[in-house]
Amino acid sequence: MATLHQDPCKKNKTKTSHKICAAAMCNNRSENRPDLTYHKFPSDPETSRRWEILMRRGDQKFKSVENKYCCSEHFVPSDYRISLTGHRKDLKTGAIPSVFP
Ligand SMILES: [Zn+2]
């Protein structure tokens, strides 16, 4: 019989607030580099595929990862749209990561 005990850890659902940069050679994550912006992969499959290749993550396994991010270290300032407030960092449509140290 299954126990009806509630696991107190599961109270606040599965919070996915932490973001990890998916680039193969990058260890940045929101926990250790909260100063960076983590960009979700583009919805356009072609651009998304280019990101994967550039980040050396073109493997099959990576395709099944749901929330993929690329940190702002891989983009140059010209990849960003300048917002009116200057606070938000928005990537231009079709921008691809190009900085891989
Ligand atoms: Zn990164």
What's residue 14's pLDDT? 55
CA of 33 to the centre of ligand 1 (A): 10
Which residues have a beta carbon within 5 Å of ligand 1, which is an ion?
Answer: 21, 23, 26, 28, 71, 73
Would you tell me how many other CB atoms lie within 10 Å of the CB of residue 39?
Answer: 23
pTM assigned to the model: 0.77
Instruction: Tell me the pairing of strands 90-91 and 38-40.
Output: unpaired
Is the Cα torsion angle 64, 69, 73, 76 positive or negative in sign? positive
CA of 71 to the centre of ligand 1 (A): 4
What's residue 60's pLDDT? 84
Cα–Cα distances in angstroms (integers) from residue 71 to residues 6, 33, 83, 85, in the given order: 37, 9, 19, 21
What's residue 40's pLDDT? 94
| pLDDT tens digits in sequence order for the chain, 101 residues long | 555 665 555 555 555 579 999 999 999 999 999 999 999 999 999 999 999 999 999 788 888 888 899 999 999 999 998 877 766 778 999 999 999 98
Q: State phi, psi for 53 to the nearest 5 degrees.
A: -65, -45
